[in-house]
Amino acid sequence: MLRRLMVGLFLLALVLPTVGSGAPAAAQDSVQTITLLETSDLHGNLIAWDYYANRSAEWSLSKVATLIRQERAIDPDLMLLDAGDTIQGTPLTYYYNVVDTSAPHPMAATMNALKYDMSALGNHEFNYGLPTLDRFRKEATFPILSANTRNTDGSEAFGGYIIKDVKGVKVGILAMTTPAIPNWEKPANIVGLRFDDPIETAKQYVPRMRAEGADVVVVLQHIGWERIPRDSAKPEAWLTDPDTWQDAGSLPGENTTIRLAKEVPGIDVVLSGHSHLDVPKAIINGVLISEPSYWGRVLGKITIQVENKDGTWQVVGKDSTTLKVTNVAADPEIVSIAQPYHDQTLAYINTPIGTSLGEFPGGPKARYTDGPLGDLINTVQSEAAAAAGYPVDVSLAAIFTDPGMIPSGEVTIRDAYSVYIYDNTLYVMEITGGILRRALEKNAEYFKQLDPAALPADPKGVITDNARDYNWDLYTGVDYTLDLTRPAGQRVTRLQIAGQDVTAEQPLRIAINNYRASGGGGFAMFREGKILWQSTNEVRDLMADYVRSKGTLDPAAINRANFTLVPDLYAHYYGGAQPAPAPTAVPPTAVPPAGGQPGSLPDTGVPATLPNTSAPASRLPGLGWLVGAAGMIGLSLLLVRRRATSR
């Protein structure tokens, strides 16, 4: 009898764990964590290399790839997404978009290897025209979409969304693109397309995606922020109330991320791009929002926890962060794919094209005075226009980045490209003196209103918060003075050509790039002008051709002073003499706006963090059950002994 009872208890001990673990197993199956990884604004940065400074860099898709593989080892079912501006931005992408168009596209080759799930179109995808974009899209093994980019008849031009089953959960990804593209892009590059309001587009698509069974809805958009916190470099600043943030200086309708979160119901997560900001986490109206900087500096990671309640998956938690690539080794596979493209690009841009008798300094030294670098760009533009049969009265150009400069001695293609990093082409327009004056007033908004007796110690402290260097133009052919002690809109105190005041109705021909001619940077007044001629070559190639044709550059011969700033910022910060040789160039770095302390966190009703769900929970019985089972067995043995004794 005792033996049979002991056998029964042993069998019961084997069965109980299976029975007891039934409820925990069901609970575990009813909760899943969806992981999303995001890149954006890669701009052709495959290899960790600064092509303009000619040295290694702490950014690139090859470095991000290492983080992607690490995250995929934790969650093999994660989704990898990109928010656009992918195929433009470095000499590498220029070479394989324009010079060698027969090779497999380097961005498609590397992103295919990383198994991207989807990408949204960025505005710079259109820079080389639709045939180049179509080539990239055909070679990519993942969809490249934009719901609000439509054919002129209103039909979808690129498709709008996907719904993918991830761990039994249907995840919908809606792609959208900034509708401000016609303000910047050459009309020939967007023929047959229109760019609809993303808010209205989302209002149509999100309910459709829900009706098709999407349990989670994510918006992947190349659209940035219409307002940003004053201290945007601090992650905690993005968790403050967006109503306290400052205007980001966008064009009307260009950036609508905050509005999207507030006005379109049914969105769980927004993955943004376009603003080139590192936003680890923002929560607006219960919507989680993140943006992964630019050039492959960080990888965005988003986790969404869902629970199955009565047969329906519901979002019960969500979190996001950005993972920096600083000191992260590049992924060997991506490097091996990208290396031949990189080597060919280096051979191309390191080709000598001339010499210079002196340095053409860049950065603030070139912006705060009428120096030789701005005059070089304007000379190239003016001569190219004249050679095409369209001589101009005025030319304007910007110093895009701080590292761009022309060194003394040998000049290479890389040097010319470092001065002009964008793929702009040259226009000749007919404008009026009134348009010119308004443009100069807009131009002067680059600077704060200044007190000459209290200038900031930092030379860049005079620049308006969130102003971009590419929106400060230097003009030649016209003599002008900007008084920065006066309020914005009242700063042009002198405007003359050949010693005569420019009148409002005076017709003028101006050399200008396609971005500014289309009103880019908020210069809408130029759209009132008439386009007379457009170059087929980029301005930077015109610059390289100019150096080749001249053989030798002389900064003293090119420099013609024709504008002054009040106060004299160059004299204050750098002295009255000609600039000394510039130090070794440093990689361009986005300058975060100055700011105050962040406010309190808004009450969103969404958990701030998620539990660690990177590994599946064990289904073995816990310690409490084991103790209980041992107690049951011990009690049973005691009872058996007592019964045996009583007999």
DSSP 171-213: EEEEEEE-TTGGGTS-GGGGTTEEE--HHHHHHHHHHHHHHTT
For residue 128, what is the domain's CATH number? 3.60.21.10
| Cβ count near 372 (within 10 Å) | 26
Paired with 425 in beta bridges are 538
- pLDDT attached to residue 250: 83
Task: Supply the Cα-derived Rg of the chain in whole angstroms.
Answer: 30
Confidence bin at 534 (pLDDT 50/70/90): confident
| Number of domains observed in the structure of the chain | 2
How far apart are alpha carbons 483 and 487 in whole angstroms? 9
Instruction: Say whether both 266 and 402 belong to one domain.
Output: no
Bigger pLDDT: 311 or 264? 264
The answer to whether 353 and 544 are in contact (CB under 8 A) is yes
Confidence bin at 251 (pLDDT 50/70/90): confident
Bigger pLDDT: 315 or 613? 315
User: Among 149, 155, 152, 107, which Cα is nearest to 132's?
Assistant: 107
- pLDDT attached to residue 16: 41
Instruction: Say whether both 244 and 175 belong to one domain.
Output: yes
pLDDT of residue 101 exceeding 90, the answer is: yes
Instruction: Say whether both 300 and 391 belong to one domain.
Output: no
Instruction: Give phi and psi for 603, each to the nearest 5.
Output: -85, 105
Instruction: Say whether both 483 and 543 belong to one domain.
Output: yes
- pLDDT attached to residue 183: 84
pLDDT of residue 74 exceeding 90, the answer is: yes
Lowest mean pLDDT among 199-208, 437-446, 637-646: 637-646
Confidence bin at 276 (pLDDT 50/70/90): very high
- pLDDT attached to residue 21: 38
Instruction: Say whether both 102 and 248 belong to one domain.
Output: yes
What is the separation of C-alpha 138 from the centre of its chain, rounded to a whole number of angstroms?
A: 23
- pLDDT attached to residue 487: 97
pLDDT of residue 520 exceeding 80, the answer is: yes
pLDDT of residue 80 exceeding 70, the answer is: yes
Out of 318, 342, 366, a domain closes at 342
- pLDDT attached to residue 613: 26
For 74, half-sphere exposure in the C-beta direction (CA atoms, 13 angstrom radius) is: 16
How far apart are alpha carbons 84 and 220 in whole angstroms? 9
pLDDT digits (tens, 9 = 90+) for 322-340: 999 999 999 999 999 999 9
**3-class state of residue 603 by DSSP:** coil
Residue-number span of the structural domain to which 227 is assigned: 26-342
pLDDT of residue 2 exceeding 70, the answer is: no
- pLDDT attached to residue 184: 83
Q: Is residue 31 part of a domain?
A: yes
For 516, half-sphere exposure in the C-beta direction (CA atoms, 13 angstrom radius) is: 26
Per-residue pLDDT averaged across 93-109, rounded?
96
- pLDDT attached to residue 186: 85
Instruction: Say whether both 308 and 405 belong to one domain.
Output: no
pLDDT digits (tens, 9 = 90+) for 542-594: 999 999 999 999 999 999 999 999 999 999 999 864 343 333 233 333 332 22
Q: Is residue 265 part of a domain?
A: yes
- Mean pLDDT over the full length of the chain: 87
Instruction: Say whether both 206 and 331 belong to one domain.
Output: yes
- pLDDT attached to residue 172: 98
- pLDDT attached to residue 494: 98
Instruction: Say whether both 410 and 334 belong to one domain.
Output: no
Residue with tokens 């799930």: 117
Q: Is residue 601 part of a domain?
A: no
Q: Is the pTM of this model over 0.85?
A: no
pLDDT of residue 25 exceeding 60, the answer is: no
Instruction: Say whether both 393 and 499 belong to one domain.
Output: yes
pLDDT digits (tens, 9 = 90+) for 124-153: 999 999 999 999 999 999 999 999 999 999
How far apart are alpha carbons 288 and 267 in whole angstroms? 9
Instruction: Say whether both 416 and 558 belong to one domain.
Output: yes
What is the separation of C-alpha 400 from the centre of its chain, rounded to a whole number of angstroms?
A: 17
Q: Is residue 409 part of a domain?
A: yes
The answer to whether 438 and 413 are in contact (CB under 8 A) is no
Out of 512, 545, 574, a domain closes at 574
Per-residue pLDDT averaged across 437-466, rounded?
96
